[in-house]
Structure 1
Amino acid sequence: MREGAQRLLESGSETPRLDAELLLAHAVGVGRTVILAHPEAPVGADAARGYRADIERRATGEPVAYIRGLKEFYGLAFQVDRRALIPRPETERLVELAETEVMRRLGLGRGGTVPLRILDVGTGSGAVVVALAVSLRRLGAADVVEILALDSSAEALDLARENAVGHAVADRIAFVEADLLPDDGSRVDLVLANLPYVRRDAMASLPRATTFEPSLALDGGPDGLEVIGRLLDRLPDALVDDGLALLEIGGDQGEAIVTLVADRLPGWSCAVVADLAGSPRVARVWRG
């Protein structure tokens, strides 16, 4: 492991030791805690070869999550590959807020014979919507919600379905290939969206690992809010009268999203919620 960590340090990894531990655990087929608890344990020849190959992949900049095919998010393990963006820890804030909002609305009497309808726009790997579905099942609310996961990429939707199956919520989520909104014109109570929000001129300065991810899932246009702005334009057709949109934004876009909502949606409101690091992370958008 020391050899692998040194190779990654020389290649420019910001977390060479952690990367080496995760990749060794992956090669051996155990959890990282086992590696840490038994650093002296011998490694078989096949595992050693696989480990060295994975170290070289990581040395090129490929994300550890893609090499392992796995990323932890909201306490769950998700399959990940180049079909979709790797789930980020800060996106867990979006799931937390969605869960709170769903339970608040159900507490006010929504649901029951008229299910609460949720739309996840740009679902990608399905991490947000699958994590939410698992949480709602745990809270006993799975039967009173309808969840729609939408993406313009058929490949990403396939990955999202695989994750839904893996967490036994595939029967709780409908997957649709479309751009921003479904074509049937139906309205929902809650829109969730983690759309591209990186400014185009900032793409080149992103960590090297992001070059392995789909650029369309990152590039938010000249101001970073181009795709989000397109969704804002269509929110009046997507939300019921008392509906709410929860939109993930960049940590430097708090003021910009408030201004954008005021410009695009006169008479609507926008409040920005911070993540655990104190950075703007989710915009709440609603009528009134």
Structure 2
Amino acid sequence: MKTLAEIRQKYQKKLDFLDLELLIAHIIKKPREFVLAHPEYELDKFKIENLKLKIARRAKHEPIAYILGHKEFFGLEFRVDENTLIPRPETELLIEEVLQEFQDTRYNPEYSGQNTKIIDVGTGSGNIIVSLAKNLESKKIKFVGIDISEKALRIAKQNAKKNKVDKKIKFLKGSLLEPFKKYSLLTTHYSLLILANLPYLSKKIYSSTPVDVKKYEPKSALISGTDGLNHYKKLFKQIKKIYVSCFMLNVTCFVEISPEQKPRIQKLIKIQFPEAKIEFKKDLAGKWRLLVIKL
């Protein structure tokens, strides 16, 4: 038996303090606050061995979220594994901006009388679409999550069920908006919000990412060609086809980007959507992170 104080003393130089606290809390099934408040709490030899195995995994740069099997995002808990990108705090800006959009009575279906469809392209773990389905209660809003990975969709469906919104979200398999060629989810009676946190790292930026990202997180969910814009170029072409073929009242896109892409993606939007109203938003670190396009 060893106390939490003894364990902390032994491993504090080998592991980040926060990581160690999270691992201990996970093993003893207590909140992190308990670990901080009870240094006298004892772990038996089985829990200590379990902790050693997890510390060894973290020492090899495996992300703490993969070791724990979950990650918190926008106040909710999401299951994650090596098939899904780990949700980032900066992506919460996208959620906040979409929720703010619905504060405007022109877009809120409860006031406008217009049904709204929210489509999360490249849903991954489902953190974006699940968070919105949890926070938007209107029955006039339809939620759709799309991903090309069957394994990622399996995780997304589990997260929807875990957060009690599985009945509200339809998940589809396909590349970007391709499923809509086979599935008639778009009609003239919908306002449409398209959300995209697609791979947007250039090869150069990807090469400088931390070891835990390059070694463990799915490369296909991070990198997008030489300039990091391959996926968005294809998506914008698809959106243009949808826009010109459907008579919708509103089409709004929320797109997460890499900060250095702002001037290039701005030119790209002006080519595809010359009449669009575009706005860039900064994250809490003061970096350009979100693009809002209103067609």
* TM-score relative to the length of structure 1: 0.90
- The 5-angstrom pairing of residues 256-267 of structure 1 reads 256-267=264-275
Structure 1 segment 111-150 matched on structure 2, within 5 A:
111=113, 114-137=114-137, 141=138, 143-150=139-146
- Equivalent in the alignment of 1:2: 9
The one of 213, 218, 221 aligned to 1:217: 221
Per the alignment, residue 281 of structure 1 pairs with 289
Deviating more after overlay: 256-265 vs 198-207: 256-265
Do the aligned residues in 2 keep the contact of 1:185 with 1:238 (CA within 8 Å)?
no
Q: Which residue in the other structure is 1:229 paired with?
A: 233
Cα displacement (A) at 1:62:
0.3
Given that 2:110 and 2:140 are in contact with CA atoms closer than 8 Å, whether structure 1 keeps it comes out as no
Q: Any idea what SS the aligned residue of 2:52 has?
A: helix
Question: What is the match of residue 272 of structure 1?
Answer: 280
Shift of 1:225: 1.3
The counterpart of 2:157, out of the listed 157, 161, 177, is: 161
How far does the alpha carbon of each residue in 1:114-154 deviate from its partner, in whole angstroms, 9 at most, with x for none?
A: 521111000000000001111113xxx2x110011000111
Give 5+ residue unaligned stretches, structure 1. 9-15
Q: Distance in 1 between matches of 2:198 and 2:75?
A: 22
Residue among 242, 257, 267 paired with 2:250: 242
Partner of 2:193: 190
Looking at structure 2, the residues matched to 147 and 102 of structure 1 have their Cα atoms a distance apart, in angstroms, of 14
Q: Deviations over 1:215-234 (max 9, x none)?
A: 00000211111111111111
> Partner residue of 2:4?
none
Which runs of at least 4 in structure 1 moved beyond 4 Å after TM superposition? none
* Residue 107 of structure 1, CA deviation: 6.2
Counterpart-to-counterpart distance in 2, 1:185 and 1:261: 26
- Asked whether the equivalents of residues 199 and 220 of structure 1 are also in contact (C-alpha less than 8 Å), the reply is yes
Offset of residue 265 of structure 1: 2.7
Aligned length: 274
Give the share of equivalent positions with the same residue, in percent: 36
Query: Per-residue deviation at 1:267?
Result: 2.7
Equivalents in 1 of 2:13, 2:256: separation in Å?
36
User: What are the superposed Cα offsets for residues 176-232 of structure 1, whole Å, 9 maximum, x if unpaired?
Assistant: 001111223644510001001111122221111112111000002111111111111
Letter in 1 for 2:208: S
Task: Tell me which amino acid in the other structure corresponds to 1:198.
Answer: L
The 1-side partners of 2:61 and 2:115 are apart by: 45
| Contact 2:122–2:146 under 8 Å retained in 1 | yes
Q: Is the 8 A contact 2:28 2:47 kept in 1?
A: yes
Offset at residue 248 of structure 1 (A): 0.5
Q: Deviations over 1:66-115 (max 9, x none)?
A: 0000101001111111110000000000111111223421168334xx52
In structure 1, what is the Cα distance between the partners aligned to 2:201 and 2:275?
27
Partner of 2:87: 87
Which residue matches 1:96?
96
Q: Which residue of 2 aligns with 1:74?
A: 74
Task: Write out per-residue CA displacement over residues 236-275 of structure 1, whole angstroms, 9 at most, x where no aligned residue.
Answer: 2345352100000112222222122113333323211111
State whether residues 109 and 115 of structure 2, in contact with CA within 8 Å, keep that contact through their aligned partners in structure 1. Answer: no
TM-score scaled to structure 2, two decimals? 0.88
Is the Cα–Cα contact under 8 Å of residues 129 and 149 in structure 1 kept in the other structure? yes
The answer to whether the 8 A contact 1:186-1:238 is kept is no
The one-letter code sitting in structure 1 at the alignment partner of 2:281 is: V
Contact 2:109 2:141 in 1 (8 A): no
Q: CA deviation at 1:4?
A: 2.6
Structure 1 contact 5–19 (Cα < 8 Å) conserved: no
Pairing 1:172–2:159 present:
no
Aligned counterparts of 2:206 and 2:9: Cα–Cα separation in 1: 33
